[in-house]
Amino acid sequence: MSTLTQRHEYIITKLKNEGIVKVLDLCEELDVSSVTIRKDLKILEDKKLLFRTHGGGTKSNPYTADRPVNEKEKINPEEKSRIGMAAAGLIQPNDCIIIASGTTVLSLAKNIHTEENLTVITAALNIATELMHNNRIELIQLGGILRKSSSSVTGIYAEKILEDFSCSKLFLGVDGIDVDFGLTTTNIMEAQLNRKMIETAQKTIVLADSSKFGKRGFGKICKIEDIEQIITDSSISDHMVETLKSMGIEVTVV
């Protein structure tokens, strides 16, 4: 495939199937230099057929901006509800869990109907409000600087409190999942608190609808290898599922 048109058709087809393309892979598959591939990606970006990234390209804008929680709730609500229901099924009697912030983990809180004792630590006010009426749930609300856009707290006070706990599971929401860069959020202080949560929990379970894959926020939370499980919806590509599994991540598709 040496002609310009054939290369571009190959790149676009691969992008549709896998969601991302990498320069090194394309060089090997098309038997051309990295300079040629980078020029091809630039042409395709100029035609608005992809977005270039470090080392490749993606079919959607990889950078995500901070949005108010009431806006985020309107994005993929059915998928988030199914993810939350699946996550609730992982909670055991007498569990001690952490629920971070975000609209997908809020769907988890809405699906918790336990009749057994449960301890929940959370940074999010809306999650605490959702769970406070269940007498079986002991709630520990982290304190700190309130982020109005996410209805959650961040900062050193929240981080210090976590040093006194050890929990079985962390249910984590993210703004972006990039296989090379890792898990991200749009706020650096929230990313720092999320890292502390990961240290506190024995297992980290990421709840993310398929739109989060291939995206990056400003603040890096951790590498992909630092988590144990991802629960997502059926619009995730088969290629991404296989990639995650090859990295040792358990993937639950709902």
Name the band, by pLDDT with cuts 50, 70 and 90, for residue 148: confident
- Nearest CA among 37, 67, 32 for reference residue 53: 37
Q: Rounded distance, CA 13 to CA 19, Å?
A: 10
- Joined tokens for residue 18: 């896998």
**Residue 61 · residue 71 · CB < 8 Å:** no
The structural domains of the chain, ordered by start, are 4-58 (1.10.10.10), 69-253 (3.40.50.1360)
- Joined tokens for residue 170: 């962390």
Per residue in 102-113, pLDDT (tens digit) is: 999 999 999 999
Q: Rounded distance, CA 214 to CA 180, Å?
A: 9
The pLDDT, as a whole number, for residue 98 is 98
- Joined tokens for residue 223: 């590498």
Q: Rounded distance, CA 198 to CA 190, Å?
A: 12
Q: Rounded distance, CA 85 to CA 64, Å?
A: 26
Q: Which string of b and e fits 83-94 if b means at least 16 CB within 10 Å?
A: bbebbbebbeee
pLDDT > 70: percent of the chain:
94
Per residue in 15-43, pLDDT (tens digit) is: 888 888 889 999 999 999 988 999 999 99
pTM of the model: 0.77
Name the band, by pLDDT with cuts 50, 70 and 90, for residue 88: very high
Sheet architecture: strand order including 219-222: 176-178, 182-185, 219-222
- Nearest CA among 213, 168, 171 for reference residue 85: 171
DSSP 8-state code for residue 73? T
pLDDT > 90: percent of the chain:
70
